[in-house]
């Protein structure tokens, strides 16, 4: 019989990134097991995963200045488009983004960060 994997919990890196972002940005809804969401002072939403250990995926709106900032820092960037029918069973990305207004049906950049300071640099580039 196959053993069930233990439930995932926030990683130390996930908690570090979350704490750093919470010092500068307003939370957007409640943190859930796999992600936390914030809003910039201008109202731009963004999210970060909480459970991965080596790198945290940040989900941010596709903006040129964010891409340039991430590229300059040498961060991994992936463009993420929602499935044509975002309500189907095949969402195509972190499913908990469905509950974040302003991210659910938008084209996003998924940027991998390995420290709280990198996460802050990405967030600072958002307008």
Q: What is the pLDDT of residues 4-22, one digit of tens each?
A: 766 678 899 999 999 999 9
Task: Name 13's Cβ contacts closer than 8 Å, sequence gap at least 6.
Answer: 52, 53, 54, 55, 56, 114, 115
pLDDT digits 0-9 by tens, 82-109 = 766 555 555 557 778 888 888 888 999 9
Per-domain boundaries in the chain: 26-97+104-124
pLDDT digits 0-9 by tens, 22-67 = 999 999 988 888 899 999 999 999 999 999 889 999 999 999 999 9
What is the pTM assigned to this prediction? Answer: 0.87
């Amino acid at each position: 019989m196959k053993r069930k994997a233990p439930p995932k919990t926030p990683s130390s890196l996930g908690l570090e990134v979350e704490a750093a972002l919470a010092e500068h940005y307003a939370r957007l809804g409640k943190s859930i097991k796999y992600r936390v969401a914030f809003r910039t002072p201008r109202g731009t939403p963004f999210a970060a995963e909480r459970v991965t250990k080596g790198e945290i995926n940040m989900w941010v709106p596709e903006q040129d200045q964010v891409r340039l900032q991430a590229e300059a820092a040498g961060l991994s960037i992936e463009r993420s488009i929602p499935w044509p029918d975002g309500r189907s069973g095949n969402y195509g990305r972190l499913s908990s983004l469905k509950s974040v207004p302003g991210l659910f049906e938008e084209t996003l950049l998924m940027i991998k960060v390995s420290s709280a300071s990198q996460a802050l640099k990405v967030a600072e580039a958002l307008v």
